[in-house]
């Protein structure tokens, strides 16, 4: 079984992002970039499935600028067999990414597609669901455990009331949650081996996909700064402030 795993290049989670002076977007100049943490979990799970014998090949895919090759090399160092970069300088929105991945599914015919449940830069949580709809595949989201066998995947996910287990026929789309696994440390020998693994570069037009943005960002601004706390002499004053100043009651 071939596993297609999708990774995204995002601002490193340790970095505090800044808004551009003109409010047109985020200032990414000189900012450290890394693989989306949820996608790193997805790669780790795909590699573990191969190590267990449930998968025969792991293909990592990324969409975006040329620098996404670095993210794909990280996926190859974790254990992916080969990588595909769909290179474009256009602003990729969730529907465009889903359409690209749908075209790659038609081309690669994977038995399982694994994605992070969301990216930490936009927190959209849309690509996995859109992809399943476009490809007409069963989906299991927010996976905290995956078991593959007998041409089906059993996916355990956390819900408000406890745990829910779904059984989906393969091929299927699965999105990963944080508790699924702990990604392995990438060693230097594996980083060197990753440089020799195949990395294919294609354009959205090669896949017949139009990635023209359908939404326009009008303005980006930082959240308002939190005001200083105040002490109140009694409960009556507290209630009055909550009612008349904070307007929360």
Two structure tokens written together for 44: 């780790």
pTM: 0.85
DSSP type of residue 79: T
Reading across the β-sheet that carries 82-87, which strands appear in turn? 162-169, 152-159, 139-149, 172-176, 112-116, 2-6, 57-64, 82-87, 199-202
- Please give the class, per CATH, of domain 2-244: alpha beta
Residues 6+ apart with CB under 8 A from 51: 79
pLDDT tens digits for range 67-124: 999 999 999 999 999 999 999 998 899 999 999 999 999 999 999 999 999 999 888 9
Residue that wins the pLDDT comparison between 85 and 18:
85
Residue 162: enclosing H or E segment and its boundaries? strand 162-169
Q: Is the pLDDT of residue 61 over 90?
A: yes
| Range 119-148 average pLDDT | 93
pLDDT tens digits for range 150-188: 899 999 998 888 899 999 999 999 999 998 999 999 999
136 by DSSP, 3-state: which?
A: coil
- In the chain, which ranges are continuous DSSP H helix? 37-51, 68-78, 94-108, 127-135, 188-194, 235-244
Domain residue extents for the chain: 2-244
Mean pLDDT score of the chain, rounded to an integer? 91
Note the pLDDT of residue 147.
Answer: 93
**pLDDT-derived band at 17, boundaries 50, 70, 90:** confident
| Range 214-227 average pLDDT | 84
Q: Is the pLDDT of residue 52 over 90?
A: yes
Q: Is the pLDDT of residue 35 over 80?
A: yes
Q: Is the pLDDT of residue 235 over 90?
A: yes
pLDDT tens digits for range 186-199: 999 999 999 999 99
**pLDDT-derived band at 229, boundaries 50, 70, 90:** confident
């Amino acid at each position: 079984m071939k596993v297609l795993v999708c990774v995204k290049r995002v601002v490193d989670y340790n970095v505090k992002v800044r808004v551009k002076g003109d409010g047109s977007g985020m200032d990414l100049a000189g900012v450290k970039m890394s693989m989306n943490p949820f996608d790193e979990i997805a790669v780790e799970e795909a590699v573990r499935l191969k190590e267990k014998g449930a998968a025969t090949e792991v293909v990592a895919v990324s969409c975006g600028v040329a620098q996404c090759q670095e993210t794909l090399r990280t996926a190859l160092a974790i254990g992916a067999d080969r990588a595909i970069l769909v290179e474009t300088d256009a602003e990729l929105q969730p529907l465009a990414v889903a359409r690209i991945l749908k075209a790659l599914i038609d081309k690669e015919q994977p038995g399982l597609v694994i994605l992070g449940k969301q990216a930490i830069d936009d927190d959209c949580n849309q690509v996995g669901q859109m992809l399943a709809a476009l490809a007409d595949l069963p989906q299991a989201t927010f996976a905290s455990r995956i078991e593959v066998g007998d041409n089906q995947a059993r996916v355990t996910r956390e819900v408000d009331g406890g745990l829910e287990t779904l059984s989906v026929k393969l091929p299927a789309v699965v999105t990963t949650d944080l508790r699924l696994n702990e990604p392995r440390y990438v060693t230097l020998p594996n980083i060197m081996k990753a440089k020799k693994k195949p990395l294919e570069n294609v354009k959205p037009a090669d896949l017949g996909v139009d990635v023209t943005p359908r939404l326009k960002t009008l303005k980006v601004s930082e959240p308002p700064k939190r005001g200083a706390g105040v002490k109140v002499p009694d409960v009556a004053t507290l209630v009055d402030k909550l009612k008349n100043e904070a307007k929360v009651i």
